Amino acid sequence: IARKAMKKDTGARGLRSIMEDVMLDIMFDLPDHQGSTYLIDDRHVEGLEPVVPLRETRTKSA
C-alpha cells in the first residue's frame, strides 16, 4: 500500500483512498459474510486477485 501511495506521490489521504479501493468489495459483502476472516496481501492491493473470506465463524442464535 505504501509503495502504491509513493508512486502516486500522495500523503495520508492517498493511503486512505487506496485502502478504501481494496476494501470496497469487502464492505458490500460483509453483511453476507459476518464473522469471516480476510487476508489481504500485495496481490489483492495490486488487483491481481479478488479479496475473498478465508473462513466463516458462525455462532448459534439464541
pLDDT digits (tens, 9 = 90+) for 14-49: 888 888 888 888 888 877 888 888 888 889 888 898
The answer to whether the CB of 17 falls within 8 A of the CB of 11 is no
* Phi, psi for residue 5 in degrees, rounded to 5: -65, -40
DSSP state of 30: G
Does residue 56 form part of some domain? no
The answer to whether the CB of 51 falls within 8 A of the CB of 28 is no
The reported pLDDT for the residue numbered 62 is 55
60 versus 31: which is more confidently predicted? 31
- Full residue range of the structural domain in which residue 17 is found: 2-51
How many domains, in total, are found in the chain? 1
The answer to whether the CB of 24 falls within 8 A of the CB of 37 is no
Does residue 59 form part of some domain? no
Work out the widest C-alpha separation in the chain, in whole angstroms. 51
